[in-house]
Structure 1
Amino acid sequence: MVAAPDFLLQVLWEGLVSGVLYALIALGFVLIFRSSRIFNFAQGIMVVFAALTLVGLYAMGIPAWISVVLTLGVMLMLAVTIERVVLRPLVGQPDIILFMATIGITLFLIGFGELIFGGENKQMITSELGIPTGAFELNPFGGFLLLEQKDITAVIGAVSLVIGLLLFLNKTRMGRAVRALGDDHQAALSVGISLRTIWVLVWFIAGVIALVTGVVWGARAGVSFALEVIAYKALPVLMLGGLESITGAIIGGLAIGILEKLFEIYWGQPIMGGNTETWFAFVLALIVLLFRPQGLFGEKIIERV
């Protein structure tokens, strides 16, 4: 059975929204990996922690937008603490040690977050932040297409953040320092770029990305520790696009978001009984890795012996 064109557009729109958010989370991983060669396993829990902090501050009676500013301050403090307490003592250690350290950060934030905020599901302060909750009804091809305003806001916000991030990386002195550190670690250090400053900066940017992601995902699904699982859908995006590629994170996120929706609707539900969205992205990434281990946009590693 061939679906109506408007139904296909609805599926593509929902896939686009999911893909934009996957790409946004993946950018947090990419930035930290490019600057420090650390795979930040804690990015998922940072999304949860940022969203819980925002909701928790508002629950204390602090106005919504002041809560946003204070949450950004908390994420900055978290970045400084991680650099000084965790990363600085581990400079020069093998990559696996740094990776294990991010797992430790994850477990700490889970326990700390549950201690302060509790483990129950909370509602994102959507209307308080001025995020519209209505919907637009369109009638393409004589059919019906529903665009929720919070999804439109999420896409506009995510695209704006990505554009701002690209401008920062390409047009500012600190942004060029981050890029230089990612392109040639030793050369960047030799010309006086401060590793500690860059680490704090990229972890703070990852915190900003986590907050935006937490707000938009929280508006769609509530705020709970289950958001951490959603955040890890960025992992196949990284495998598909490459760990060092910002372009790969964006294109990979959009591709996975759209393809998993199409597969679920046109093959998953009719043939496999549904629920293919939980594993489709990982299988797709695995297939890509079999033929291109560095991802579609990653640099091919050549080792000479």
Structure 2
Amino acid sequence: MGFFLETFIGGLMSGMLYGLVALGFVLIFKASGVFNFAQGAMVLFAALAMARFSEWIPKLLGLDNRFLANLLAFVGAMLVMIAVAWFIERLVLGKLVNQEGVTLLMATLGITYFLDGFGQTIFGSDIYKIDVGLPKEPMFLMESLFPGGVLINKEDLYAAVIAAALVIVLSLFFQYTGTGRALRAVADDHQAAQSIGIPLKRIWVIVWSVAGFVALVAGIIWGSKLGVQFSLSVLALKALPVVILGGLTSVPGAIIGGLLLGVGEKLSEVFVGPLVGGGIEIWFGYVLVLLVLLVRPQGLFGEKIIDRV
């Protein structure tokens, strides 16, 4: 039972990290109707900016305080992501207003390759380290109930708390703020939103900036765990089943979908993998999504689309 709980909790922690990446997809689709395939590249670009700034700033300013250096690096990386959002709106999305969804999807593919190449040009292509002080030592719980206790990684636990806080804040932002309601109006109909005075360009810059902030947080956590390397952009492919499973328009659904996927992957790999030769983690998420879509095409928490004629 102790081993099962350890695997289950490990799956929950991995699922929270998947959900963080999926949040970026949901935010942009919810507010602009664009399926942003570039979210993985944004995670990589933000993590690269954070890692390099945390190296450069102490040298430039002569800082010995790691917390202050990381804080300045975070602010600098966030400003970079806001600049990226502004350029995306000005050079790409602003030119493609009211175009077909597939056109916008192809535009985000172009943004993906541009960010990958531009990030390598500016920040280099080595593997970089992000150290923001997250504890890496494990801890043992319920030692009185199970021999040896249940092993939990503190870094994953902190990541889960951060992800949960982001979900709460973003849910409140979309539901109760004027900007959040404007974002939802733009997603429903660009032309109607413009006709009532909602500034489309400013709204798109805001939502891409928020998605950039989420990408930065996800990039810091993943970079702290694995190092900042170009394989981070492949995380987007792991988050795609999460987005579809939870629903493209549901912020809480991104996290719940991530939890379901993380737990399902870990349990199936540990308990079923030895019987079939392993490798279940590679395809489990896509099979799970396929089964869900057969029953509920809009995902578990997505909004039903009703066309009236």
Q: Does 1:146 align with 2:151?
A: yes
- The count of corresponding residues between Structure 1 and Structure 2 is 297
Once residues 167 and 130 of structure 1 are traced to their aligned partners in structure 2, the CA distance between those partners, rounded to angstroms, is 29
Once residues 19 and 246 of structure 1 are traced to their aligned partners in structure 2, the CA distance between those partners, rounded to angstroms, is 14
1:13 corresponds in structure 2 to 9
2:57 corresponds in structure 1 to 61
1:278 corresponds in structure 2 to 282
SS of 2:301's equivalent in the other structure is coil
Letter of the 1:97 counterpart: T
Letter of the 2:303 counterpart: E
Q: Give CA-to-partner distance per residue, 1:285-304, whole Å, 9 cap, x none.
A: 11222333222222333445
Quote how far apart the aligned CAs of 1:170 are.
2.3
**Which of 95, 104, 115 is the aligned partner of 1:89?**
95
SS of 1:41's equivalent in the other structure is coil
1:6–1:140 contact (8 Å) kept in structure 2: no
Quote how far apart the aligned CAs of 1:93 are.
1.7
Q: Give CA-to-partner distance per residue, 1:159-183, whole Å, 9 cap, x none.
A: 1111121222223221222233335
Letter of the 2:212 counterpart: G
2:173 corresponds in structure 1 to 168
1:294 corresponds in structure 2 to 298
2:164 corresponds in structure 1 to 159
2:65 corresponds in structure 1 to none
The 10-residue stretch of structure 1 (246-255 or 291-300) with the greater mean CA deviation from structure 2: 291-300
Once residues 17 and 173 of structure 2 are traced to their aligned partners in structure 1, the CA distance between those partners, rounded to angstroms, is 20
1:231 corresponds in structure 2 to 236
1:132 corresponds in structure 2 to 135
Once residues 18 and 192 of structure 2 are traced to their aligned partners in structure 1, the CA distance between those partners, rounded to angstroms, is 32
2:128 corresponds in structure 1 to 122
Q: Does 1:110 align with 2:116?
A: yes
**Which of 204, 223, 227 is the aligned partner of 2:209?**
204
Aligned-pair identity (%): 52
The 10-residue stretch of structure 1 (152-161 or 189-198) with the greater mean CA deviation from structure 2: 189-198
Letter of the 1:141 counterpart: L
Letter of the 1:133 counterpart: K
1:241–1:252 contact (8 Å) kept in structure 2: yes
**Which of 10, 17, 35 is the aligned partner of 2:31?**
35
The 10-residue stretch of structure 1 (208-217 or 182-191) with the greater mean CA deviation from structure 2: 182-191
Once residues 250 and 190 of structure 2 are traced to their aligned partners in structure 1, the CA distance between those partners, rounded to angstroms, is 16
What is the TM-score normalised by the length of structure 1?
A: 0.92
What is the TM-score normalised by the length of structure 2?
A: 0.91
Quote how far apart the aligned CAs of 1:223 are.
1.0
**Which of 240, 249, 256 is the aligned partner of 2:245?**
240
SS of 2:92's equivalent in the other structure is helix
Specify whether residues 192 and 223 from structure 1 end up closer, same or farther in structure 2 by C-alpha distance, changes over 3 A only.
same
Once residues 27 and 136 of structure 1 are traced to their aligned partners in structure 2, the CA distance between those partners, rounded to angstroms, is 28
Unaligned runs of 5+ in 2: 59-68
SS of 1:121's equivalent in the other structure is coil
Once residues 176 and 38 of structure 1 are traced to their aligned partners in structure 2, the CA distance between those partners, rounded to angstroms, is 17
SS of 1:136's equivalent in the other structure is strand
Quote how far apart the aligned CAs of 1:279 are.
1.2
**Which of 214, 220, 230 is the aligned partner of 1:215?**
220
Unaligned runs of 5+ in 1: none
Q: Give CA-to-partner distance per residue, 1:130-174, whole Å, 9 cap, x none.
A: 322222222152322122221121111111111121222223221
Give the root-mean-square deviation of aligned CA atoms.
Answer: 1.7
Specify whether residues 219 and 140 from structure 1 end up closer, same or farther in structure 2 by C-alpha distance, changes over 3 A only.
farther
Quote how far apart the aligned CAs of 1:237 are.
1.0
Once residues 172 and 294 of structure 2 are traced to their aligned partners in structure 1, the CA distance between those partners, rounded to angstroms, is 34
The 10-residue stretch of structure 1 (25-34 or 283-292) with the greater mean CA deviation from structure 2: 283-292
Quote how far apart the aligned CAs of 1:262 are.
0.9
Letter of the 1:81 counterpart: F
Once residues 22 and 134 of structure 2 are traced to their aligned partners in structure 1, the CA distance between those partners, rounded to angstroms, is 24
Letter of the 1:222 counterpart: G
1:101 corresponds in structure 2 to 107
The 10-residue stretch of structure 1 (141-150 or 222-231) with the greater mean CA deviation from structure 2: 141-150
